[in-house]
Amino acid sequence: MLDLRDVKKSFTEPDGGELPILDIEEFHLDEGEQMALVGRSGCGKTTLLYVIAGISRPDSGMVKVGQWDITLFTEAERDRFRAEQIGYVFQTFNLLPGFTALENVLLGMRFAGGHIDRARAKHLLERVGLGHRMTHRPGQLSVGEQQRVSVARALANQPRLLLADEPTANVDAGHQQQVVDMLRDGCREDNVALMVVTHTPEVANQFDRRDNLEHFNRAVVA
């Protein structure tokens, strides 16, 4: 369901030089497949997730999600495609500060253009242990609680592909397993492909497939 071919991405350094971050010959993920993406800090994991989600565009190469090469889309088309097909747990959460936990999850459904299912939204929040915090706004939630809201939001629109960037970085061991279970079970139930970036071996080891980006990225990031 996901196919990358000859994907290259560079950034412009503050001094104007070119900084190659990604050079990936081939990367593939099957329908409903689950994997962990590992690799040291700065090796390009978030950059790769952004390219797959269509948040940023590679300099060259193909990024096929389902039958569509999203590099051929305009930015507006990519935004729409992402809202409908992709769930994203941001490393920095990106919750909307003016809305409650429950409203943030409901907005995930609304952006996807799907139907607003309050019962499902509540159920998702309960599954990550936030049944008692539904009407709190992000500023009234702990960092780990915000992270769990963002996991619930990513599953809200029943995507085909879920990308989670360090979804357990800010939660304790108990909630870590709760978050991993919800991501894995939620994706398995709906045959959603799942890619989890993690620095936590206990999380990575739960996946049969563990890819180290440094092993298939030909751009060597200094």
Ligand X SMILES: Nc1ncnc2c1ncn2[C@@H]1O[C@H](COP(=O)(O)OP(=O)(O)OP(=O)(O)O)[C@@H](O)[C@H]1O
Residues that bind ligand X (CB under 6 A): 11, 19, 21, 39, 41-47, 91, 221
CB of 142 to ligand X, least distance (A): 21
The item of Mg ion, ligand X, none sharing an interface with residue 159, based on CB under 5 to 8 Å by kind, is none
Nearer to Mg ion, 134 or 169 (CB): 169
- Least spacing, CB of residue 154 vs Mg ion, in Å: 16
Residue 150 binds Mg ion, judged by CB under 5 A: no
Element holding 85 (H helix, E strand): helix 75-85
Look at residue 42 and give the partner it binds from Mg ion, ligand X, none, a contact being a CB closer than 5 to 8 Å depending on partner kind. Answer: ligand X
| 46 is an interface residue for Mg ion by CB under 5 A | yes
CA distances from 95 to 28, 74, 103, 150, 221 (A): 30, 25, 10, 7, 30
DSSP-assigned beta bridge partners for residue 35? 195, 209
Residue 11 or 111: the one with the smaller Cβ distance to ligand X is 11
E strands present in the chain: 2-12, 18-29, 34-38, 60-65, 68-69, 86-89, 161-165, 193-197, 209-212
| Among 114, 108, 100, 198, residue whose Cα is nearest residue 152 | 108
Which of the choices ligand X, Mg ion, none does residue 193 contact, using the CB cut-off of 5 to 8 A by kind?
Answer: none
Q: Which amino acid is it at 73?
A: F
Residues 147, 152: Cα–Cα separation, whole Å:
9
Nearer to ligand X, 19 or 134 (CB): 19
Name residue 95's amino acid. Answer: L
Total residues interacting with Mg ion, rule: CB under 5 A: 1
Euclidean distance between CA atoms 31 and 147, whole angstroms: 26
198 binds Mg ion (CB under 5 A): no
- Return the one option of Mg ion, ligand X, none that residue 19 interacts with (CB less than 5 to 8 A, by type): ligand X
- Residue 67 binds what, of Mg ion, ligand X, none (CB under 5 to 8 Å, by partner type)? none
Nearer Cβ to ligand X (130/179): 179
Least distance from ligand X to the Cβ atom of residue 98, Å: 27
**Cβ proximity of 10 and 20 under 8 Å:** yes
Name the residue nearer to Mg ion (CB basis): 46 or 85. Answer: 46
User: Which residues here bind Mg ion, judged by CB under 5 A?
Assistant: 46
